[in-house]
Structure 1
Amino acid sequence: MDANTIYAVVDIETTGTNVAEGNRMIQFGCVLVQNGEIINHFNTDVNPQTSIPQSIQALTGISEAQVKRAPLFDDVAGTIFSLLSDTVFVAHNVNFDFPFVNAELERVGYPRLDIQAIDTVTLSQILMPTVPSYRLHDLTQYLNIVHDHPHTANDDALVTGELLIVLFKRMLELPIVTLQQMVAEEAELPRDTGEVFKWGLAEVRRHPRSLPDYLYVSHGIALRKTPVITATDDREYTYPRTKKNKLKRFPEHFEWRADQAKMMNLVYRQYTDAQTANQPLIVEAPTGTGKTLGYALPMAYLAQKFDKQVVIATDTVLLQNQLINQTMPLLERMLPFETHAEVVKGNAHYLDLSRFKISLSQTDHSKQTQLIKLRLLVWLTQTATGDLDELHFKNEPPYLDSVYHHGMADLTDTDPFYEDDFLRRLYQRLKYTRFIIVNHAFLIQHADLLGDNFHQPYLVVDEAQHLADYALKTQRQKFDFQVSLSTSRRLMELLDPENEYGLTAATDGLTLNDDLNTFYRWLIEFSRQLRALSDYLTNHFKAQFGGKFTKPYKEIVISEDDWVGFLTQREGLFEQLDILVGKFQDRLAKITDSFYKQSNRWLKSDEELFLRFSHAVNAITDAWDTLSAIRQAPKHEEAGTGSYLYWLTISNDLSHIMVASNLMTVEGFLSQQIYSHFQAPMFTGATLFSSNRSQYLYDQLDLDRAAVKMRRLKSDFDFAAQAKMYISNDAPDIKDEDAYNQYVSHTLIQALSQVNRPTLVLFNSLAAIEAVYERLTDAIHPKQRLILAQGISGSKEKLIKRFMDEDNAVLLGAASFWEGIDLPQDKLQLLVIARLPFDSPDQLETKVQYERMKAKGKNPFYNLSLPKATLRLRQGVGRLIRTRQDYGAVIVLDSRLVSRHYGQTILKTLPASLPTMTGTVPQLLSDMTKFFKKHKSISHDS
């Protein structure tokens, strides 16, 4: 490859994926690219002399009638062979297109093309590392490339050619040091894709240019400079109380929302009035209120007025990103003063530059790891945060375990990247940051750090209904004896003086060797004592495991008194193990320092051995810290006796035991461990209350109802005109799962054939989804409706993306699909609730919670199960109407909503103006058809 190379960018459409099985080409498209320009193009339909599957016709729009008049491949093979000879073949997924074209050529008597071939999917992943999706249509949207006819060969080839030009331009703008590192990795990329970077490096060397101002090089890696933040100004600014003054600050065309303005004033008054400033505030702000700006604007003025910071805790990392990328830029346009916001996440979200640099020197046989390294090298020229979430990894690759940050405690000033460290820079910026955006899990784990370091900042808990769940989840600990014993065995093999391939052999004759031999002796003792502790634990609770095992493992709950009794009985053994683990940590620090001071003498294999050693030691000490947390749980003063659940899991041969603990109630925990570090907190969310009288939310937030100010804003949606709810009264008994799933499937098949609208179906379990999905796909052809299912059709993000790309898809979801997904106006018009969202009473923790409530004289159904289900149903129904322009219908197939007394309690929590109809499924579907006829059609209306 060189600057004058001609790149033949090809796309083909076929009847299937395998030529040997009789699949054939039906369309060929090619554009020729040279010197950054498209210089020629060729495309043709091809008569495959076989039928085209309906799914292919639906996808491509290519009919059998269209190709019947087209030339046979034999007739165009010579032209294609001549066109592609002496070029570099390019395709978006080259490992499909290139072999298929060659197979077709060979089939009709031509030789295989002996040319280089490169892949634009891989190039895009490397050179545009932060793009959420690398499907061709998604990339063209991202780059504003016009792509009118996806899945047609001529249009796909044309946009792939334009994409290639963009990719080459981006590559040639990379710093030479980055390209050098990329080439040095010798990554195994599809076909000849790796040769592109060798050509790019040679080209950049021929035409060198200075490093851009926004980049610098540290220890051989090009990094992006981070903006310097200075202290904000201390002038006084008047909060805009009136509509007139607010409108002056609002951007042009910004929609005025009366309830949003009310919320702004409510928040500002609460914290400027001496009588209420120390009183917690709860604001339920329905969808459409604009609640994030509703609290962010007054909080910005409060922070400026009282020189304080604001910690916003929201439910998920996704919502953190929405706040920083959508709300904060809008807020900055509306304020007369500068403000600054930072997202803060757990340590593992950030890249550790030193660990990454070490990993570059290691040979990896994993193609996935090689690709990730190249992506990271390019990303480091773009990122100012080092937040790995920017890379949108779908499933966390194992490689990231070796390069994520282990926290500030792990960083020393001897680290070569100390000055560049992303986490250190982040915490430096926080001093000058007004808004610190965290998620609930981070708040629970680091409330003391946030509150004490920043002198009791304001606290806003968004999506507050989830805080208790995160509090309980973050206090859940599990220690597996077998895992730690296996890790210590691997470590002993690595340090065994008799192992000629071990770490001790590699350091023979050095003072470092003495430390490793000492470590080896400590490990032998640690392993012996840990095994003894495991045996003692098994024998101590053996009687409670009962008789015959019906499963490979058995779980038993143990009382707090029994657990404390065991801890007391084995106190000496625990102390000895504590001492050994302390020695591990101290000696590892010494060994690491000594090892890297002699970095010039080590082979790559030595560094790999050392990293294995270091990771294994950290795994043991981290696991022991978990067991220490389980031991400390009963001593927490904030939680009363019985606040923690303890359980053991043991294998049927009694050889494998795990001990676990979990906080069972937030009572006393949130108020003392979290809220005490902040000003009186504010809580908000679209769906907080199961009823006006319910105590549930106050219990979940560990609040004294009498001491809290509460306000529920009203939705200004016109539900009478925009929506209708249908409730089935002919469903079978919910306990007969097979009959009920059959009923749900049959009803859905009827509904989807009569109402051709984008549909979301909400379930309680993945098992129910699987049963219904199978019946739906048997009955409905994919050309009619695309059926997507959680647990079957891909990740949540992928499902939502595909659902939004279609006009009338059907999405089956459970759990997280009940809330937190925001579908645009025309992308959801029919919502089906397959079953009321009650928690399964069979879960161990749920059973214990129920028993605790009964012991306090409370009814667990009415005090816990019903409020939780009611909130979840409100959240599910909230998926349907998100703006004043939306319209749609919701059908509840669970007849308990009208047949049981508690159904009325649930219905009262839904908008009073929402029209409701109860009847048999045929009656409901007949009326629903009329409902949709009243509203404007969508492109695929029935």
Structure 2
Amino acid sequence: MDKFVVIDLETTGHSPANNDKIIEVGIVTIERNEISNEFSTLLNPEKEISPFITNLTGIADQDVADAPTFREKADEITALFHDSYLIAHNVPFDLGFLNQELAKQNKRKLTNPVLDTVELSRILYPQAPSFKLAQIADYVNIHHDDPHRALSDAYVTAKLFLKLKQKLESLPYETIEQLLKLEKMLKSDLYQLLDDRLKELAFTIENNDDIASYRGLAFKEIREYKRNKPKVDFSYGDYLDHIYETNGSMQQQMSHYEKRTGQREMSEHIYDAFQSGQHALIEAETGTGKSLAYLIPAIYQAVKEKQRIVISTYTTPLQSQLLDEEIPFVHHLIPFPFKAALLKGKQHYISLEKFEHELSSGQTENYDFTLTKAMILVWLTETETGDIDEIQLPSSGYLFFKRVSVDTEGYPDPASPWFQKSFYQHAKRQAQKADIVITNHALLCTDIFNDYQFLPSYEKAIIDEAHHLEETASKHYGLRLDYASIHYSLNHIGTIDETNWLGKLISSYSFNPNETLIDNWNDIFERVKYEVDDLFRYLFQYVTDQQKNEKSFSDIGRTQYRIKSGQEHPKKWNTIKEMATRLIFYFRDLIHMLAQLEQYLVKQEQLEKNDKDEIEVTIEKLQRFIDHLEQLFLLEDEENHVKWIEIEASGAKNAVYLYSEPINMANLLASDFFEEKQSVILTSATLTMKRSFSFIQNRLGLSADRLITKKINSPFTYQNQVQLMVPNDFPDVKYGNITDFIYATCEAILSLAEITKGRMLVLFTSYDMLHKSYGVLKETMDLSRYMLIAQGISSGSRSRLKKNFIHYEQSILLGTSSFWEGVDIPGEDLSCLVIVRLPFEPPDHPIYEAKANFLKHEGKNAFMELSLPNAVIRFKQGFGRLIRSASDRGVVFVCDARIIKARYGKYFTESIPDVPITFDSTQKLIEKAEQWF
């Protein structure tokens, strides 16, 4: 079959079951790889079209008033699909709608073979940032004239399909062969296309030097680079002049270059710290260009002194920005070559050996797992890193990836053919040869607390986003245990007679009939599952009972309960300890049986490496559960650690999360990190409170005798770019007027939205308040005008919500927690920032409470030493969302009058750039905002 018919529909809504109707049909026919025909018609839905759909598509009631109904056009439409593939960008939607309408007319449904371009795009362009039609079209350079009109969308889908077909025809034999094995579990009927291509390739000699293959798996050949050792024989001052000064390389590379004195100043301070063997805290305000400011001295130092320097970031986007944008740019700026490499933790890299083993097992999986395998097969022909962060897997695809990451490998065997092909080993080798190694705080902390065995050796480091170092170190020194991950691990292991891991392992080896080493497995295993369920259900009920009167909520809506030894309900807590002890006992039995099984198979000379790895990784996992249970329930370490339980009150009765973290990281970081290294530079846009570094210095354990501190001011003219407004007539939350306060906030949001045409980010400190405000806004706002997007309510990740915010013209984005930082929306897309409450931690938050008690015991003021500095730094992060470039303008509207009225308010206002502040009635502020814009 060589005829492909592409369809796109515009409809009154998402569901034909809710009586939604088709309002436009666009159809394009492809024959012999060319578009040969088109068909388009508006349809009268015999119902009103909502303002939202009119806004989206441009189709209004008057446009379809004289249009035919679907009933009149049904036969003409279905005739176009005779003897063809049916193609759509999300086939279940378009074909589902079409067939529902046909059924209502008592006509035969379409049963054509289908090709879904969403699914095919995910498989064949796994590195695309988004698979929505407009975004994927942009990614493959297809111009989209008229989005959300049926014929235009059908044309774009047709052109996309031709690109996808081309891409399919470029894949190597082994990849096509593996895709063919997965085809029956996919939505698209790909068998014929894949089979035809496989037959073609069988008679073709492939000449692709970039692709290697082993054991039926094709992947991009890894290229090793040789380390050049250039000589640097000029001074650092000359080097900086060459880059920063008039007619320097920076000016030559940037068409609109404006010299930033702060950028060079920062480069000089970093080099001074390196040279004098000191640590440095450098706050670089927005607009400094801090990435370049620290890369320039780091590269000079690393190459000249032949000393590797590690650069660590907290977020993946900043890592990508450094590697994909900043470092290629620096290559053009500096007068000598250098090498930079990225190194992440093992869990980020795919193990080719494990992936090949999963493919060859032939196990039928759910749809997400199949789609993930297909995406990885194509990605392996493109990736040079094997880092899974390069692609967007379906949600449960990450569960599959856990099974095939390097983390699941046992001890590496350098003699194995897979070892030389390993992406992780390649990344380690590249890092060993590099001048600059980029990593993340997570791996940096894992390295610090494991005797420096994960990163190549280094003496100097730069920590960007340094305000997150303490929090990351605490998490890595602490632990987390939850029901879902234990349950998932146990389900993966399974009983002897199941088709899960252990059952398959046992059935693949021959055993002596008298061998009884795992006879008890099923019995013990079922007891473990029962005990896990019992313990977590009991914990859920315990927290519910203990917190009937007062509840502490995390920013993701979970109830939190701090464990305090000696203050728990004696009888119930003893029951919990007995349950944990019993569970540990059964886990030990499972470990013992697995160890016996491994010894037996090794003795019989039967055990394959993959299976040996799996047994050892499983034993390690079970041992980790034991260690965590012991630390959480059986070891009392109240002075040094805080332990707490989180439950999802409206979730399953075993949705329980257990945590333990050190109360004070200062001594650990001082002894394990800062005393070990020659020079560590810590930088961020938010390190000071009222221009003082003392808070962050104390929290990180930095000794004053080896420390340089410097604040680099922003080059932006905040006086002209920002208005800070605070209403003096909001209800005071302190007196229980939360509902009134929410209504006042929502009224202000609506008034400001009129002035700024949306383009507003609203930051909350509590998910509960966000949720209630969303409800009020949804009821009172004209949703045909504004797109209201809310974290935790609107579906999608943080980056997806941000993209939607930018995509729709008049958007209002409500965010909490992660939206206070790392969200860059420059230009006119963001004109107003509303900060609902000053971001103080709730006093009963388990970690805050424990740290506050620790400070009180030391005779310190917990509010001034902990609560206030944390809130100020968080506030600065939120404030920093608005102005991202020299041309940005906007209003920061702070609903919390404490910033003016409270004694500590000046700590907030004096910690941000100097901006005009107005404290007045809401009406006067709105009038002023209107005049200012």
Query: TM-score band (shorter)?
Result: 0.7 to 0.9
Q: Give the counterpart of 1:47 among 44, 64, 75.
A: 44
CA 1:79/1:890 → structure 2, altered by over 3 Å: closer, same or farther? same
Q: Deviations over 1:520-539 (max 9, x none)?
A: 56998999999999999xx9
Aligned length: 900
User: How do 1:425-436 and structure 2 match up within 5 A?
Assistant: 425-436=426-437
SS at match of 2:407: coil
Q: Give 2:926's aligned residue.
A: 925
User: How do 1:441-590 and structure 2 match up within 5 A?
Assistant: 441-447=442-448, 454-478=456-480, 493-494=495-496, 502=503, 506=507, 509-510=510-511, 517-518=516-517, 550=548, 556-558=563-565, 587=596, 590=599
CA 1:49/1:757 → structure 2, altered by over 3 Å: closer, same or farther? closer
Q: Give 1:888's aligned residue.
A: 890
Alignment of 1:875 with 2:877, yes or no, is: yes
In 1: Cα distance, 2:464 partner to 2:15 partner? 52
Offset of 1:557 from its aligned partner?
A: 1.5
Q: Give the counterpart of 1:260 among 263, 287, 292.
A: 263
CA 1:683/1:784 → structure 2, altered by over 3 Å: closer, same or farther? same
Aligned 8 A contact 1:30 1:157 in 2 = yes
Q: Give 1:680's aligned residue.
A: 679
Offset of 1:340 from its aligned partner?
A: 2.1
Offset of 1:867 from its aligned partner?
A: 0.7
In 1: Cα distance, 2:697 partner to 2:725 partner? 32
Q: Deviations over 1:636-663 (max 9, x none)?
A: xxxxx933235689999x9999985321
Q: Give the counterpart of 1:911 among 898, 908, 913.
A: 913
In 2: Cα distance, 1:237 partner to 1:632 partner? 61
104-113 vs 150-159, greater mean Cα deviation: 104-113
Q: Deviations over 1:156-201 (max 9, x none)?
A: 0111111001000000000011100110124422252454433433
Q: Give 1:12's aligned residue.
A: 9
Q: Give the counterpart of 2:868 among 856, 866, 869.
A: 866
User: How do 1:159-308 and structure 2 match up within 5 A?
Assistant: 159-190=156-187, 192-205=189-202, 208-238=204-234, 239=236, 240-243=238-241, 245-246=243-244, 247-250=247-250, 251-253=252-254, 255=257, 256-272=259-275, 277-308=276-307
Alignment of 1:752 with 2:744, yes or no, is: no
In 2: Cα distance, 1:378 partner to 1:534 partner? 40
Q: Give the counterpart of 2:152 among 152, 155, 166.
A: 155
Alignment of 1:130 with 2:127, yes or no, is: yes
Q: Give the counterpart of 2:62 among 50, 61, 65.
A: 65
- Which AA in structure 2 matches 1:296? L
In 1: Cα distance, 2:593 partner to 2:218 partner? 35
Q: Give 1:375's aligned residue.
A: 375
Q: Deviations over 1:539-582 (max 9, x none)?
A: 9x9xx99998859997532279xxxxxxxx9xx99999999788
In 1: Cα distance, 2:560 partner to 2:65 partner? 62
239-248 vs 321-330, greater mean Cα deviation: 239-248
CA 1:529/1:768 → structure 2, altered by over 3 Å: closer, same or farther? closer
223-232 vs 62-71, greater mean Cα deviation: 62-71
Q: Deviations over 1:496-520 (max 9, x none)?
A: 9xx9x95697367536x888x4355
388-397 vs 433-442, greater mean Cα deviation: 388-397
Offset of 1:51 from its aligned partner?
A: 1.9
Q: Give 2:573's aligned residue.
A: none
CA 1:234/1:12 → structure 2, altered by over 3 Å: closer, same or farther? same
In 1: Cα distance, 2:841 partner to 2:820 partner? 13
Offset of 1:418 from its aligned partner?
A: 2.2
SS at match of 2:418: coil
- Which AA in structure 2 matches 1:357? E
User: How do 1:741-780 and structure 2 match up within 5 A?
Assistant: 741-780=742-781
Aligned 8 A contact 1:725 1:891 in 2 = yes
Offset of 1:265 from its aligned partner?
A: 2.2
In 2: Cα distance, 1:489 partner to 1:863 partner? 46
- Which AA in structure 1 matches 2:565? I
CA 1:597/1:154 → structure 2, altered by over 3 Å: closer, same or farther? farther
SS at match of 2:679: coil
Q: Give 1:564's aligned residue.
A: none
- Which AA in structure 1 matches 2:666? E
CA 1:749/1:483 → structure 2, altered by over 3 Å: closer, same or farther? closer
Offset of 1:248 from its aligned partner?
A: 3.3
Q: Give 2:401's aligned residue.
A: 400
Q: Deviations over 1:641-700 (max 9, x none)?
A: 933235689999x99999853211112111211234432101111111012345211112
SS at match of 1:709: strand
Offset of 1:409 from its aligned partner?
A: 5.2
CA 1:199/1:95 → structure 2, altered by over 3 Å: closer, same or farther? farther
Q: Give 2:386's aligned residue.
A: 386
Aligned 8 A contact 2:284 2:685 in 1 = yes
SS at match of 1:773: helix
Q: Give 1:604's aligned residue.
A: none
Q: Give 2:555's aligned residue.
A: none
- Which AA in structure 2 matches 1:99? G
Q: Deviations over 1:85-107 (max 9, x none)?
A: 22211110111212323444555
Q: Give 1:937's aligned residue.
A: none
CA 1:575/1:534 → structure 2, altered by over 3 Å: closer, same or farther? same
In 1: Cα distance, 2:688 partner to 2:97 partner? 59
In 2: Cα distance, 1:15 partner to 1:485 partner? 43
User: How do 1:524-923 and structure 2 match up within 5 A?
Assistant: 550=548, 556-558=563-565, 587=596, 590=599, 617-626=619-628, 642-646=639-643, 661-693=660-692, 695-735=694-734, 736=736, 737-794=738-795, 795-912=797-914, 914-923=915-924
SS at match of 2:218: strand
Offset of 1:83 from its aligned partner?
A: 2.5
- Which AA in structure 2 matches 1:685? S
Offset of 1:848 from its aligned partner?
A: 1.4
SS at match of 1:84: coil
In 2: Cα distance, 1:93 partner to 1:535 partner? 43
Offset of 1:126 from its aligned partner?
A: 0.6
Offset of 1:859 from its aligned partner?
A: 0.9
CA 1:387/1:545 → structure 2, altered by over 3 Å: closer, same or farther? closer
In 1: Cα distance, 2:317 partner to 2:484 partner? 35
CA 1:48/1:545 → structure 2, altered by over 3 Å: closer, same or farther? closer
CA 1:392/1:591 → structure 2, altered by over 3 Å: closer, same or farther? farther
* Structure 1 residues without counterparts, runs of 5 or longer: 561-568, 601-606, 636-640, 933-942
CA 1:216/1:731 → structure 2, altered by over 3 Å: closer, same or farther? same
In 1: Cα distance, 2:586 partner to 2:21 partner? 67
Offset of 1:27 from its aligned partner?
A: 1.4
In 2: Cα distance, 1:906 partner to 1:809 partner? 28
Aligned 8 A contact 2:695 2:869 in 1 = yes
- Which AA in structure 1 matches 2:206? S
In 2: Cα distance, 1:214 partner to 1:194 partner? 27
Offset of 1:830 from its aligned partner?
A: 0.4
Aligned 8 A contact 2:174 2:217 in 1 = yes
In 1: Cα distance, 2:485 partner to 2:49 partner? 53
- Which AA in structure 2 matches 1:197? L
Aligned 8 A contact 1:408 1:423 in 2 = no
Aligned 8 A contact 1:119 1:193 in 2 = no
What RMSD, in angstroms, separates the aligned Cα atoms of the two structures?
Answer: 4.3
896-905 vs 656-665, greater mean Cα deviation: 656-665
In 1: Cα distance, 2:749 partner to 2:376 partner? 45
SS at match of 2:338: coil
CA 1:610/1:85 → structure 2, altered by over 3 Å: closer, same or farther? farther
Q: Give 2:570's aligned residue.
A: none
In 1: Cα distance, 2:683 partner to 2:435 partner? 20
- Which AA in structure 2 matches 1:228? E
